[in-house]
Structure 1
């Protein structure tokens, strides 16, 4: 993923992950956690060709949602994985749990962390 791109105004756009507001047929939809480029000079935003923002907007529009998270919709079951390790981490659930307790994952006990792990059959203990 490139970190910068040229803006039509002649300035440079920087790659960020943040909220972007759209208006579709009079309905305002905010997409949170959207990877995009923004120009500090003219405030224009654009998306890399690998960012499927249209699909996310369709989900929000059809679901009559005013807000949606790009990151969550890319992982509908909330499970994120490092393929070579055989262990999946339920990152969204872990994040929500830590937010509710006011702690970081490093503060959790081994037993607390265990509830956010999904092991493949060959990794079962």
Structure 2
């Protein structure tokens, strides 16, 4: 498609790598379609190309460079997952007895469009709703396990939670923040294909942070008495364990010695 620059010269259509700056951060997009004016030495983009959304995605996820085609595939899958999430809610509202005309008021679709989408995506909606039923059962089991954990020592609970977080990090190859921290709210998470894991992982991270904060706040003077002739410098011990990535039970006698007070 021909495009005319403001200088009057016809711009050349290209597909290549371009640099963008969001604040001081440089982001490179490879294989992005664009127009180039040789007279102005300037690139421009089709108004329908979601360049701003792509840069926002890269900025929030700390991505320095990416391929445009890969981003398009991600965006398409995300948009589909989000649409199915909306249709699941619509299906529940309709099944509760609401008329489609009333349901449509809560969406950007007309009643006819909603009925067509519900019919076209019926199998996928059913599959996702069954998945969420499984998720509810999984959540009940999670709460049962957490109730059992409440009878353990706080250090024991923290150890179990860290072990479960490690499983997720191994499965997804990074931390929660880097993998899913960009998801803004519960509805956005619910529309994601990995919603069950994301909710579970997020709750584990919150519980870990809460326990670690409680451990620090509970020992304001940094020393905690134990049933012996010695005292333990709990705050110092806690910080040391965080630094070396060990549980107190994993420390050697020499390591523990530095935290004992007569």
Alignment TM-score, normalising by the size of structure 1: 0.56
Q: CA deviation at 1:68?
A: 1.4
Q: CA deviation at 1:21?
A: 0.6
Query: Does residue 1:30 correspond to 2:28, yes or no?
Result: yes
Greater fraction of residues in strand = 1
Paired residue for 2:37?
Answer: 39
Q: Partner of 2:73: helix, strand, or coil?
A: coil
Matched positions, count: 76
Paired residue for 2:18?
Answer: 20
Structure 1 ranges of 4+ moved more than 4 A: none
Choose from 50, 53, 60 the match for 2:51: 53
Q: Work out which structure has the larger RCO, using CA pairs closer than 8 Å and 6 or more positions apart in sequence.
A: 1
Structure 1 residues without counterparts, runs of 5 or longer:
80-125
Greater fraction of residues in helix = 2
Q: Partner of 1:56: helix, strand, or coil?
A: helix
Whole-angstrom distance in 1 between the partners of 2:32 and 2:48: 12
Paired residue for 1:95?
Answer: none
Whole-angstrom distance in 2 between the partners of 1:41 and 1:30: 23
Q: Partner of 1:21: helix, strand, or coil?
A: strand
Whole-angstrom distance in 2 between the partners of 1:38 and 1:11: 10
